[in-house]
Each structure stands twice: as C-alpha cells, then as structure tokens.
Amino acid sequence: MKVLSAASELFPLVKTGGLADVTGALPAALGQQGVAVTTIVPGYPAVMAALERPAAFHAYADLFGGPAQLIRGTAHGLDIIAIDAPHLFDRPGNPYLGKDGKDWPDNAQRFAALARAAAEVAGGINPRYRADVLHCHDWQAALGPVYTRFLGGPRSVMTVHNIAFQGQFPATVFGLLGLPQQAFAIDGVEYYGNVGYLKGGLATADAITTVSPTYAQEICTPEYGMGLDGLLRARRNVLRGIVNGIDTDVWDPESDRRIPQTYGARSLKKREANKRALEARFKLEPGDGLIHGVVSRLTWQKGMDIFAASLDALVATGARLALLGTGETAIENAIFEASLRHPGRIGIIVGYDEDLSHLMQAGADTILVPSRFEPCGLTQLYGLRYGCVPVVARTGGLNDTVIDANDAALQAEVATGFQFAPVDEATLEHALGRVAECHANPKLWRGLQKRGMEQDVSWARSAAAYAQLYRNLVKA
C-alpha cells in the first residue's frame, strides 16, 4: 500500500515541535506494516540541502505566484518529495515566521501550495506514482482533503496534532486556491465568512484522527474544540484517537549518542552521572535531592504561567529545577525572577537544544508537563523510556500514557508517574508534594522508574492502527 504523507515539518530536517517527530518516525513504523510512505514537504533550505539522489518529478509553470519543481529523493532514510518553490519556501529560520516574529504574510499561499501539490501527487500527476491514501497533518496540509474531494483524488486522512492552530484567512484568499465555488460552503472551507484550512480538512476528509483517545473526546466539547467542536461531533463516526509513539532508535537510553554513551545505559545507577552533568550545565547546587526537569514552550497552553507561580513552593519541597524553553516574555521574566530568589536551586536555559533535551531526560528525576491541554505529548514518553518520572496534568494524551501513583496504583504496582487536575497552583503544588514524598522512599521511586521504562512507547501498536485505518478506507 502506498501512502503520501503531507506535512510542513519532518524530523530531522525541519522541526519546531512534536509534529516533526511524528512525521519523521511514523514512516519506518508503517513500513513494518506493509505500508510504503512517501512524505511531501516544503522545499525549505534545510530540506533541499539534505536531499540525496534528487530527481525531477514534476514541474509547475506557476504554483501560487512563481515556477516550482517537485523533486523526489531521500534523506535520513525517508522517501521525500520536496516542493522546490523558492518564492514560497527559500527563507531562513522558522518555517512559519519572519525575523519580526510574525507570520509570513503569504502563509495562505505557501501552505495551499503544499496541500495542492500533495493532492495532485497522490492523484497521479506523475504516472510513475499514485497513492492509495493521502494523509495530511495539521492546518498547513489540511486543504489536501478539500482538493481531493472537489477536484478528485484518493481517500484521505486528516490528523489534528493541535486544534488550537487552524489556519484561518480572509475570504479573499479563496479566489487564489483554484477550487470550485461550491467549496466555499459549510461542507467545505467556509468558516464564519472566512476561509478555514483546518475546518475544510475536517469537513472533507474520509477519516479524521487525532493523537490520543482522550483528546479525541475533548475536542468534541466547547472547552477544547476551539470552535470546531460542533463539526467534530457531527463527524464523530469518522473520528478516532491514535496515541503517538516515539522513535525508539533516536530515543534509546542504551545507545543515546547525544549524551556520553557510557552514561546512557538503562541501568538506573548510571543516571547519577547524568545528574551530575545536569547540575553543572544548569549551575545547580550538587546533591542527591530531586531535580525536576522542564522542556517546554513557555506558554499559557503549556500551563507555564501556573508553573512559574509555583516555583517558590517547588523549592520549598527541597527540590531543584532545570528548565529549557522559550516563549512568552512575561512567563520567562517570572521564572528568571524566581531563579534570582533561589540561586543554585533554579537553573534556566532559554532556547531549544536537542542534545540538552536528551541529557535532561537522562539526568533529571522528573519531567514536568503541566499543560492546560495536550493533544498527546511526547516529552512524557521520552521520560518513561529514560526512567525520568512524568508529572503531568490529567488531560489529552498525558492522561492516556501516564498511570497516576495513587495508593491503589502503587499497591498494585502499576503506577508510572503523577497526574493532577485541574491546572492551578494548588493542585500543582500538591502534586509536587506527592512527588517529594514518594522520592523520599527509594523503593517506591525505583518501582516507578522501572515500570515506566518497561512501557511500550514505540510506534508499533499505533502504526498497526494507522495501517488498518488505511486498509479500511481503501476497501470502503
């Protein structure tokens, strides 16, 4: 079976978040299920530079404002079709934002080009390739099912990684898309008089998935559906949640090359060396006490405002904090102020560092994820695999992947971490107290770590679910 995956990010070529990790890891897992995945991705500079054995696949005289070519090749074991459209994608830095931190003004055209090319490739614009299924990820590729519905093409799957990002544009954009007028309607891209890319994909896809079973339920409610809950309730019969996995080759504590290899073994004793390295990197006071780790965007969604307000309480438990992230200025400032109040107890590195994120999973005692909503989350899965105990809000995929260390779960020896709800200072601080109490009991703590490391967080089961979904669509 041939599946064309359409996405705006693809690890390790271009990444701003978990979307890239998913689209980069899923193809290999699907290959084990007899599904051959080709990924179509914008031809950002990093993508074009990485392509091996590039070959011309199709040429456009005009693709949303300029000539373009589709180039097929490979990179890092992935089969790729890159959209070589310099007028749209030959730009440095973030794939969505300019140097001023604002959206590129032509994002509507840029990602319509991704979706249009994906639909045409899947439909056989080059006679050497035709997909059985087009699988589109998030709003940037969400017009793919719209094009296949109104212009023809294979069956389609629309995956929502975060419904908060929808790709909404003025109605004037519709005239640029090359769609028939009937597509600007309630069962197409029209959304309160504007054009909604994600809304269109959800309305027209043959199947809708999201990245955890709990999030699939949540987005059908007004609280989490971000205005699309009514549409999703109406299409509940084609909606399902399939929890993400992780690339267990990239995230392998036995042989993780991003940390000193002798420190990366699954033996819990060897985590101590990583803990010492983490203390040095974040300028923390050395000691055997708890180190909480945070690798996150510092935003409201991630609950980082509540977390910043709870830092005095965190330190009061005797714990320390190592935080890697960047985001809203007010939250960054609040955390910096807390670090000044508690020198040697709170360490902050602003930015994103892939290697350091591996060391944090290998050396911190916990990984904190206090998100107000979290479609799936990968950070807690990395933590489970590395023996870094997750402390998470009870929402979305966090709820589906971490078993709370309540008395019953501890007695039954099934707990793998800590959950709390709702996301407010009181419940977070209560959870931090529970963590400190458990950490003071080495036997209980080692049990949490070992059970976490025994969890299957690979893509195997989820890839099988996707493969069955594809087959069911083709048979229908």
425: domain CATH number is 3.40.50.2000
Residues 436 and 470 in one domain: no
pLDDT of residue 64: 98
Residues 311 and 178 in one domain: no
Q: How far apart are CA 306 and CA 426, in angstroms?
A: 9
Q: Would you give the distance in Å from CA 45 to the centre of its chain? A: 22
201 within some domain: yes
Residues 420 and 293 in one domain: yes
Residues 228 and 318 in one domain: no
- Which residues sit opposite 73 in a β-bridge? 80
- For residues 242 and 209, the answer to whether their CB atoms sit within 8 Å is yes
11 within some domain: yes
Residues 466 and 391 in one domain: no
374 within some domain: yes
- For residues 214 and 399, the answer to whether their CB atoms sit within 8 Å is yes
pLDDT of residue 172: 97
Side-chain-facing half-sphere of 29: CA atoms under 13 Å = 23
Residue 325 DSSP SS3:
strand
Instruction: Tell me the torsion sign for CA atoms 214, 217, 223, 227.
Output: positive
Structural domain boundaries, residue 290: 261-454
pLDDT of residue 226: 97
Q: How does the average pLDDT of the chain come out, rounded?
A: 96
* Residue range 385-415, pLDDT digits in tens: 999 999 999 999 999 999 999 999 999 999 9
* Residue range 17-28, pLDDT digits in tens: 889 999 999 999
- For residues 105 and 65, the answer to whether their CB atoms sit within 8 Å is no
71 within some domain: yes
Residue 314 is classified by DSSP as: H
- Which residues sit opposite 366 in a β-bridge? 292, 389
256 within some domain: no
Residues 187 and 45 in one domain: yes
Q: What angle do CA 167, 173, 175 make, to 5 degrees?
A: 140
Residues 166 and 30 in one domain: yes
253 within some domain: no
pLDDT of residue 268: 85
* Residue range 245-258, pLDDT digits in tens: 999 999 999 889 88
Residue with tokens 């400032």: 333
Q: Which two tokens stand for residue 282?
A: 């974040």
Cβ burial of 181 (10 Å; 0-12, 13-18, 19+) is: exposed
pLDDT of residue 17: 86
Give pairs for 145-148: CB < 8 Å, separation 24+: 145/200, 145/201, 145/204, 145/205, 145/206, 146/115, 146/179, 146/183, 146/188, 146/189, 146/200, 146/201, 146/203, 146/204, 147/115, 147/116, 147/118, 147/119, 147/120, 147/179, 148/119, 148/122, 148/123, 148/204
Residue 123 is classified by DSSP as: T
Residues 265 and 209 in one domain: no
Question: How many structural domains are present in the chain?
Answer: 2
255 within some domain: no
Q: How far apart are CA 25 and CA 315, in angstroms?
A: 37
Residues 72 and 165 in one domain: yes
Side-chain-facing half-sphere of 433: CA atoms under 13 Å = 9
pLDDT of residue 122: 98
**Amino acid (1-letter code) at residue 191:** Y
**Is 450 known as a binding-site position?**
no
Low-confidence ranges of the chain (pLDDT < 70): none
> If we measure between CA atoms, which residue out of 284, 342, 277, 335 comes closest to residue 315?
342
Q: How far apart are CA 390 and CA 231, in angstroms?
A: 33
pLDDT of residue 266: 75
